[in-house]
Structure 1
Amino acid sequence: MQPPTIHYADYLQLDKILNAQQPESSKPGHQPAHDEMLFIIIHQTYELWFKQMLFETDAVLDTMRKPALNDNSAELQTAVHRLKRIAAILKVLVQQIDIIETMTPMDFLDFRDMLRPASGFQSWQFKILEAKLGLRFEQRHGKEYYTSQLRPAEIVLIKEAENTTSVITLLNTWLERMPFITDPYLWINYQPVAAGNQPPEFFKDYAYIYKNSLAEGEKNNSVFFDQVFFDEPINTHRQLTAKACRNALFIMLYRGYPMLELPFQLLETLLEIDNQLGNWRHRHINMVQRMIGTRIGTGGSTGAGYLKGALDTHSIFKEIAQLNSFLTDRKKLPLLPGELTAKLGYSF
């Protein structure tokens, strides 16, 4: 049998999409506001991109929550690829603000009051995305009312996302099991830089090198180094253990080796996602200030004030970003033993 013919418009369900714009200002009793159509389409587009990012995030979670993620298979590469797609979509979200900023504040006032209490603050998809990436409830700015404008079914979905294992939690598990550090055979011929080191010898060595490279004004970093890499977290604010941080630092230091290139890309892509989320929030703040100044949002939030608070606190992968504070000149790095470098390179 011949497969059924699929028409472009039917495949994309264009009837539904193109008839989904119903401006309030076009309804009886209102003066039509030309820019409301743009406002609706921009926000519908945002929600479609949020849906795609959630789709990619769920796929990454499915891969990373496997009991044994095979680093030598295509699984890790696929996860990195999908995370890079999320970062690329976020760049588009930032660029879309250029389009909405073609609307002037007076254009917005033509229909703004008709929106109440609808608001981007009610975007449950974006809140779910943040939760699945790893933003905890206690980290949220304005957590006392961040679900106050949502419908009960939407709140349930967000709570479910907050209670599932997040990307950053799975990242911690993945980093902790990095095999190159735990195999004693690979380190049997390691030559320590500083005498009298105790296991983990390499990291004690690196601590010695790093601390001796600090300028006078950076000496506080010496204490901070020990807190990050040797003291296990005793509070709920830290999401990466000391062991995971040590292994992430090792990846950053020796990323030139082929076996560490993909793990390094994973870390860098997560930082890029955080960076683009920050860019989006920053542009959103500027847009809101331009449109409504210091007035409250249509959903009852503090408008630009709320967005500024979120920008300052909603950094999901900041514990990875802080590791860059502990890098040192590659010429000073400890020399890795041959048994380890053979494992980190290509095998023939």
Structure 2
Amino acid sequence: MQHKPVYYGEYLQLDKIIEAQFPESDKPGNEPAHDEMLFIIIHQAYELWFKQILFEVNSVIDIMSKPALNDNSAELQTVVHRLQRTVTILKVLVQQIDILETMTPMDFLDFRDMLRPASGFQSWQFKIIEAKLGLKFEKRHGQEYYISQLQQKDIDTIQKAEDGRSVIELINKWLERMPFAEEEKYSSLFTGGSFWNEYEKVYSNSLSEAEKNNLSFFKNIFFSEEENPERTLTPKACRSALFIMLYRGYPMLELPFQLLDTLLEIDNQLGNWRYRHINMVRRMIGTRIGTGGSTGAGYLQGAMDKHYIFKEISQLNSFLIDRRKLPELPKGLAEKLGYNF
């Protein structure tokens, strides 16, 4: 079959993209505001990047939703690669604020009042990204604003995303099935009768007097059987995640560690984006309310403080110990985590 020539502009649908900017200030009866074009293009670029992030996150969810993800295959590498791409895109989103900040507060006031009640808060794509990563409605800051300014079709789309599987939920299931230190055949080979008994003793001895309360926190995180709706990761999943962090130098754990570390970097970059956004809003409008009716910088500050999706993974760093004091793994387990020839 003969290949039909592809023309650059048609392939990229440039007619639609380049002609998709309609400043409110250009409409009859309004005074033209030069910087509104920049404002529109920046936010259109954000939404295009949000679309790409969703494309990557959805593919990760599809892979991890399989009945049995093969950790020793290209599948896990693909998951890590696509999440790392997401991190890189988030870095670009933060950098785009540099361009937006070339607009002064007075430049913004030339057209700000024409935008009401439109607001970045109405970005349904961003809310879907948060939901697909694992941010639940009950853990959101400012729930009264969450869907109050959205059209019903967008509300339905977001709620559908919240009802589906999230990355953090699938990570929990993936971690729960990791054997390694849980395997009975290795338990008797550790000094304390099991890896975790031995590790708890070493961890306890590493604590200063001011940190002794951490031991009860340790037992609650890794061994509590009580139901806790605040938790996303089960004790077993937390044990697996900590084991990966501790022994990430072994070949079998290098990729799993990259996965956990990339999730933390996603949270980090989302936090950077919110932080830069807060400072920009304070610079532009001070303490005034947002065009969408939120408390402006105050709302953004509350969201930054609360919307950490993978914080249960980051908290596990509280339980790391000096690598020189790590329990030595039994030969059979060490071989299983390495390259076997």
- Are residues 247 and 59 of structure 1, via their aligned partners in 2, closer, same or farther at CA, if it must alter by over 3 Å? same
1:121 corresponds in structure 2 to 121
Structure 2 counterpart of 1:214: 207
- Cα contact 1:56–1:86 (8 A) shared by 2: yes
Q: Which residue of 1 aligns with 2:166?
A: 166
Deviation of 1:27 after TM superposition, in Å, equals 1.2
Correspondent of 2:196 among 203, 218, 224? 203
- Inter-partner Cα distance in structure 2 for 1:176 and 1:2: 51
1:234 aligns with 2:233: no
Matches within 5 A, 1:1-348: 1-185=1-185, 187=186, 190-192=189-191, 194=192, 197=193, 201-348=194-341
Q: Specify the SS of the correspondent of 2:5.
A: coil
- Shift in Å, 1:137: 0.7
Provide the alpha-carbon RMSD of the alignment: 1.0
Question: How many angstroms does 1:180 deviate by?
Answer: 1.6
| CA–CA distance in structure 2, aligned partners of residues 109 and 50 of structure 1 | 27
In structure 2, relative to structure 1, the CA distance for the partners of 1:346 and 1:250 (3 Å cut) is: same
Using the aligned pairs only, state the percent identity: 71
**Contact map agreement 1:232 1:241 (CA 8 A) in 2:** no
State the Cα distance separating 1:233 from its structure 2 match. 4.7
Counterpart of 2:235, as a letter, is A
* TM-score of the two chains, using structure 2 as the length reference: 0.98
What is the Cα deviation at residue 191 of structure 1? 3.1
User: 1:141 corresponds to which letter in structure 2?
Assistant: H
Q: Judge conservation of contact 2:21–2:41 (CA < 8 Å) in 1.
A: yes
On the 8 A contact 2:267/2:310 being kept in 1, the answer is yes
Kept after mapping to 2: 8 A contact 1:233/1:242: no
Distance verdict in 2 for CA 1:164–1:266, change over 3 Å: same
The answer (yes or no) to whether the contact 1:213–1:328 under 8 Å persists in 2 is: yes
Q: What does the per-residue CA deviation read over 1:6-58, in whole Å, with 9 as the maximum and x for residues that have no partner?
A: 10000000000000011111111111100000000000000000000000000
Residues 233 and 312 of structure 1: CA distance in aligned 2, closer, same or farther (over 3 Å): farther
Question: TM-score by structure 1 length?
Answer: 0.96
Q: Tell me the secondary structure at the aligned position of residue 138 of structure 1.
A: helix
User: Following TM superposition, by how much is the alpha carbon of 1:301 offset from its aligned partner in structure 2, in angstroms?
Assistant: 0.6
Between the two proteins, the alignment pairs up a number of residues equal to 341
Partners in 2 of 1:203 and 1:169 — Cα distance? Answer: 24
What code does the residue aligned with 1:303 have?
A: G
- Give the drift of 1:286: 0.2
Check conservation: 1:233, 1:241, Cα contact below 8 A.
no
Report the Cα offset of residue 182 of structure 1. 3.7
Deviation at 1:145, TM superposition (A): 2.5
Contact (CA 8 Å) 1:139, 1:314: kept in 2 or not? yes
Shift of 1:70: 0.5
**Which stretches in structure 2 are left out of the alignment for 5+ residues?**
none
The Cα offsets for residues 253-293 of structure 1, whole Å up to 9 and x where unpaired, read as: 00000000000000000000000000000000000000000
Q: Distance in 2 between matches of 1:233 and 1:262?
A: 31
Q: Give secondary structure in 1 for the equivalent of 2:146.
A: coil
Structure 1 segments (4+ residues) deviating >6 Å: none
- SS of the aligned residue for 2:145 comes to coil
Deviation per residue, 1:180-209 (Å, 9 max, x gap):
234333x166231x4xx4xxx111110110
